[in-house]
Structure 1
């Protein structure tokens, strides 16, 4: 038996299709408000960057800057000279070694001091936070004379104290006569200046760790180290990664602390970082084309690291959010 399909309803009885929703226009006011800031940033950042790129492909010295002589286009010769120079690889090694030591000490000491802040009384915590904020607010160009006085070869308080404590063989000890002691002083000053931000940020992250998770771990018999590795650190891991990335970027750009202290002793080349070498080639040797090439290579290295680091931070944050949702 064949079943026939029901007849279609008349055209007058058919349900008319729903009208399409009108397309909402994006308001233009937010773009107009942001446009001045974007233009200012483009003028402040993009114009010098484009000029730096152009100069890096030229033979540009003092004659071109002051004498008005036309610059000579040399293509990639400046970059080839930089990569072939022994100073580039030695300064890169100094930079990497300095970053590993300074950032490692900053994050390690920052975690210890952040835990200490959580354990002391409120009055002591306020005093410590005020002291760290004062250190953080002090510009390096102002702090360096104080540090030079502390480590002065003849009148330094540090030399006087360590000599009478039997640590130094002589009171007139020059810390920058050896690269080991010189870099030790530089790392100590950089870590001293970076600790306030790290400690305050980590302390804020520690206060956000759920207390019930810590109490549950302690009731299960976990010790202090086990509580930190299994509960506390996973909770603050995204913050630690962000602070580590920021510390690497900031320490990569350290200039004043090294430049103002390296003149104390001999062997100034042993204190070359990428930034110091670029400055020396540009403003001491008046080879602005080579200095621009060094700066651009430095920017590319830091940019590549920043992209990798930001992606790692985003993955960690997404994993933490997924784990929190699963709970």
Structure 2
């Protein structure tokens, strides 16, 4: 199927690769991260109460309102420095992480607003994404919530690919591309959470993996514990399959062979007559047949077993730009996720 990938260039409904950001969620180039005191962040979260906890994402993640900047934010408790340890080294590593994050400014990456290195506390402050994660909308069970339509799914996919392309161009690795790390703002504008960044940022030195999700991690990462540029392309391919099929990356169906989305998809992708069966039933057939075929072709080359054979993320961006319309869905058709 990889041979079919170049044929995507024949499509006419192309949008610019550097599509403008949603006005409600755009980044401000050159923004410098602020410093916050622990007392200010504690006050914003009612002393980090359970009522302010953002459920279902990262541990230690809270929603708070910062009066000093008049903004609702997401506050991430990184860790408390061990007083008996090398606090100078810990502080240096944390500040280096904050500096790297603050330098990532793109419409499809969640902005770091500031940080706290007050005493033993190490806390990151990001912009708050009101519509929750892509996982919430694909696999959540909130009553009355309409499923994401085809156009919205393709817009999200194209935006995520642009964010990954920007990171690769900056020499930054993304540790775990998965639907829970893709956050949604107004108009379902997607942004990659910075909590999925790898511990090391240079593509020239593959980074050891300390965490991830089975089903979304590339084979080479599972086998060697290393991360390569093609590894995030694989993770993106799994997420694209999730959006197309409505299936989780790893599920627990009665048929063991269907448990892993990639294993199931590779079997189905061998026969184009099966493509319609792969579409999410929640879409109720409301998608262009040719677009479904092309989206599956993109996903197919992204999940190739050999990371060197997968396309560069820039090639994926070009292909998906022909499937995305960048039209915000009607607000009445979806509902914001809680928290």
- The TM-score, its normalising length taken from structure 1, stands at 0.27
Identify the structure with bigger relative contact order (alpha carbons < 8 Å, sequence gap 6+). Answer: 1
Q: Which has the higher strand share?
A: 2
